Structure 1
Amino acid sequence: MFFLFGTNSIKAENNDDLNKFSSALEKHLVDNMHYYDSKSADILDSMVTNGHVKKIITVDDPETPENEEEVEEYDSTIIVGYVKAHQRRDSFFLFENTDIYFYAVDKNEFVDYSQIIGNDAVSKFYQKYSDQTYNEITPWSLTLFMLMLSLVVIVPIIIMIFHNTSRGTSYQSYNNSIGV
């Protein structure tokens, strides 16, 4: 009985962590992704693991003899998510963007892949999806863009065809009116 109820509590904890990740991801995308279409993020795959994070707070100045480098290291629960989000440009051009995000739950912050030290599960997840990240225009937006671009060429041609007043008019020579 303990094992049956024990697995449910672990899943509930993971769901709670994923809920934290989802809300933090929404705020992160609003703040950091240009043209982000609000509430369009969709977590396609995720993983929860423990890991060691090493962040460089202050970089060493090579011109001074002292070592000013400040490093922060901590262990945390890390959520890795493969996320698809939309960017809306000019109100009607829609782009799909997929990326991998790393979230340290204990510090409530997003970290880079390079800051997670020695975690094979994170490395495998990253290798699995690193080739599948992209940012591309949706087919409907591409069609709309091509239509607008073609109108730039087609409309002047139509105007030239139907509003060319020099066609079909004849000019009389001045010789007929002088009477020579």
Structure 2
Amino acid sequence: MSHIITPSTPEHEIEARNAQMFGNLKERLDFYRSEIQYETSILANRTDAYLAAQSFLVIAFVSAMGNLNPEWGKMFTMIVPAFLALLGVLSSLNAWPGIRAAYKIIDHWQLKQSHLLRSQPMMGLMYDETPLFSEAETSRVGHKKSLLFSLRTPWIFLGFWVLLGAYAVYIQVA
């Protein structure tokens, strides 16, 4: 029979359920670490795909701005770069939720790992009494700093595209 665990559930019942799910503390730690690694690779893949798309948009934008065709070049350089800048803004706004979601999941598993290591001090000690994980690896500040590049990139490119789009329209109108 299944039971729902609530805040009023006795600690010994929670521990019994955890023991059923995870054979021991090392298995739980390994599970948390594998989830962190899996989500980090997802975040890295999303960031890589986003940066690749942005680099192609930048190349297309620069090529469109360099159009020197005397017949249709003026109209082309007025419309296409602005459209590409709008596409860059939209792709940045669309990339943000996926990157943010992966970050939140990593934060969740990192928090669970930190709680495990803090609640079970022997879990983090090796034979020579040296911590297995340093405070920088398990602290919330440490892992948040390591993920800042992925979190900031969409916003940086969003600002970049707004400025480039405004500049492209300005130099054509002025």
TM-score interval, smaller chain: under 0.3
Who wins on radius of gyration, i.e. which is larger? 1
> Counting strand residues as a fraction of each chain, which structure ranks higher?
1
> Counting helix residues as a fraction of each chain, which structure ranks higher?
2
The two structures have a TM-score, normalised by structure 1, of 0.27
Looking at both structures, which has the greater relative contact order when contacts are Cα pairs under 8 Å and sequence separation is at least 6? 2
The two structures have a TM-score, normalised by structure 2, of 0.28
